[in-house]
């Protein structure tokens, strides 16, 4: 909870207490709750439970959008938007939640996302790096494919046989 939001909550509780709208014990309970520092482990545990609940939300396989409301998101919200929400809040990121094996892959996941962005549309059906019309050279060699106006793709790798 942000400091500004906590300050507003403290002020609201104090105002209620001064107007005798809440008892002294209720006021103290609210103050203690606001002053308590949530541990990273507690927050991650809560997020992991929410992640398990998210797995049960029906998803449209074509659009990758949820089909039912989930935690304030309505039907039609993309899976990726929700993943980003979890990624910003879980200490080990969404990659940890996706793979769930206890290994922190945050750096690896970021690298894969970067390399995937280097993949481009490709019409060379006989190239080993073409996967469904997309050049995956960057995923293998961790750099962009070299393409020139004169020679086309310098990194083209011919593949024989059935494609």
Q: Give the model confidence (pLDDT) of 74-114 as tens digits.
A: 999 999 999 999 998 998 888 888 877 666 666 776 777 78
pLDDT at 124: 83
pLDDT at 101: 64
> Residue 84 has which token pair?
């980003």
CA angle 70, 101, 115 (to 5 degrees): 80
Contact present, 82 and 66 (Cβ < 8 Å): yes
Whether the CA torsion 117, 109, 144, 125 is positive or negative: it is negative
Q: Which residues of 123-133 are buried (b: 16+ CB within 10 A; e: fewer)?
A: ebeebbbbeee
φ, ψ at 73 (rounded to 5°): -90, 135
The length of the chain in residues reads 163
**CA-CA distance, 120 to 14, in Å (whole number)?**
59
Burial class of residue 25 (count of CB atoms within 10 Å of its CB; 0-12, 13-18, 19+): exposed
pLDDT at 67: 96
pLDDT at 157: 83
Helix/strand/coil for 6: helix
Low-confidence ranges of the chain (pLDDT < 70): 1-2, 101-106, 109, 161-163
pLDDT at 49: 94
> Residue 138 has which token pair?
């960057």
pTM of the model: 0.47
Burial class of residue 14 (count of CB atoms within 10 Å of its CB; 0-12, 13-18, 19+): middle
pLDDT at 33: 83
pLDDT at 82: 94
> Residue 160 has which token pair?
């024989």
């Amino acid at each position: 909870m942000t400091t500004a939001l906590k300050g507003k909550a403290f002020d609201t509780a104090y105002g209620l207490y001064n107007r005798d709208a809440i008892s002294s014990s209720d006021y103290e309970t609210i103050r203690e709750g606001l002053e308590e520092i949530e541990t990273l482990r507690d927050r991650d545990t809560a997020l992991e439970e929410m992640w398990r609940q998210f797995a049960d939300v029906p998803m449209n396989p074509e659009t990758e959008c949820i089909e039912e409301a989930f935690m304030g998101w309505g039907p039609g919200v993309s899976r990726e938007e929700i993943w980003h929400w979890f990624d910003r809040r879980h200490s080990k990121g969404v990659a940890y939640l996706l793979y769930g094996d206890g290994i922190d892959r945050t750096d690896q996941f970021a690298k894969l996302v970067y390399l995937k962005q280097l993949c481009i549309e490709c019409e060379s059906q006989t190239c080993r790096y073409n996967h469904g019309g997309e050049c995956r050279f960057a995923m293998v060699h961790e750099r962009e494919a070299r393409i020139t106006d004169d020679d086309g793709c310098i990194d083209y790798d011919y593949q024989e046989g059935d494609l």
